[in-house]
């Protein structure tokens, strides 16, 4: 279940939406790891699809967080786009799972690439891998499970990731880092540079600071420049997750009319 509430500085109106989502149960029995593409795909899809559908059907997806239009009446059209949203979620989960499965195959070229060191090899591998990095949305106000998976992975993996996403309508280069000592992680970051031929360029920054176990503070900023007049946006999020799967989040976007969004995500 996802509960979202939004308050505007202009009218202090509040909107509450309840959105149930299924929770899949998995057997805890040990199973042999698959070695074929289809077996790896099934494992990746079963792991990824619930989070993708949960994020896609979040109530806040029915309005544009960064839209200049302050009208929130689009919530009444909730059921109109269910099919299109489900199709988009399935396509995203299918594509990401297929990519992950292909990179997990024990092919000689992939084994050779995994063992390579240096900047070119890291650039190529991170551009193909790091699937969850694409889900980072520093200005999106509600909890996203895939984005949280990326921050968790980044806190435990190597200190630096870099790559390019070329096969998109808005290709970008990214750099992710981790600042830590032998006791704890102090700061996680992800920076992007978007190049759009007809839409100018964009710089985007996302920072996440784990404060205590299950509680983190996240900062996001973006700057559009180039063809159109430069535009800056800033967002701040506070997130608390629980072992039960429940997540509480409070998000604030600083702009001409500040916007505050509180959301609760819980399994049932």
Residue carrying structure tokens 């985007």: 204
Question: 124-155 burial, b if ≥16 CB within 10 A, otherwise e?
Answer: ebbbebbbbbbbbbbbbbbbbbbbbbbbeebe
Q: Is the pLDDT of residue 13 over 80?
A: no
> What backbone phi and psi angles, to 5 degrees, belong to 222?
-145, 155
Picking from 137-151, 175-189, 204-218, which range would have the lowest pLDDT averaged per residue? 137-151
Looking at the DSSP bridge assignments, the partners of residue 236 are 219, 252
Q: Give the residue, 28 or 55, on which the prediction is more confident.
A: 55
Helical residues (DSSP H) of the chain, grouped into ranges: 37-56, 82-104, 108-115, 119-128, 145-156
DSSP SS3 for 138:
coil
Half-sphere exposure of 236 (CA within 13 A, CB side): 6
User: What is the pLDDT confidence band of residue 1, given thresholds at 50, 70 and 90?
Assistant: low
- Residue 118 belongs to what domain range? 2-265
The reported pTM is 0.68
Number of compact structural domains in the chain: 1
* Contact (Cβ atoms closer than 8 angstroms) between residue 190 and residue 133: yes
């Amino acid at each position: 279940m996802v509960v979202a509430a939004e308050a505007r500085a202009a009218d202090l109106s509040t909107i509450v939406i309840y959105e149930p989502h299924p929770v899949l149960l998995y057997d805890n029995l040990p199973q042999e790891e698959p070695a074929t593409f289809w077996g790896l795909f099934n494992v990746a899809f079963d792991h990824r699809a619930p989070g993708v559908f949960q994020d896609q059907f979040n109530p806040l997806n029915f309005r544009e967080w960064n839209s200049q239009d302050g009208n929130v009446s689009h919530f009444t059209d909730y059921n109109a786009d269910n099919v299109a949203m489900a199709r988009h979620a399935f396509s995203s989960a299918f594509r990401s799972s297929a990519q992950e499965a292909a990179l997990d195959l024990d092919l000689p070229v992939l084994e050779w690439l995994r063992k390579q060191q240096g900047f070119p090899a890291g650039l190529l591998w991170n551009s193909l891998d790091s699937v969850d990095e694409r889900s980072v949305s520093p200005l999106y106000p509600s909890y996203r499970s895939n984005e949280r998976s990326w921050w968790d992975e980044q806190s435990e993996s190597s200190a630096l990731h870099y790559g390019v996403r070329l096969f998109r309508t808005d290709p970008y280069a990214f750099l992710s880092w981790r600042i830590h000592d032998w006791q704890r992680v102090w700061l996680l970051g992800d920076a992007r540079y978007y190049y759009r031929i007809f839409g100018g360029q964009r710089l985007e920054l996302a920072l996440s600071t784990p404060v205590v176990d299950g509680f983190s503070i996240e900062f996001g900023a973006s700057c559009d420049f180039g063809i159109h007049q430069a535009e800056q946006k800033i967002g701040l999020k506070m997130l608390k997750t629980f072992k039960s799967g429940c997540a509480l989040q409070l998000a604030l976007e600083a702009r001409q009319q500040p916007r505050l969004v509180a959301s609760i995500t819980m399994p049932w």
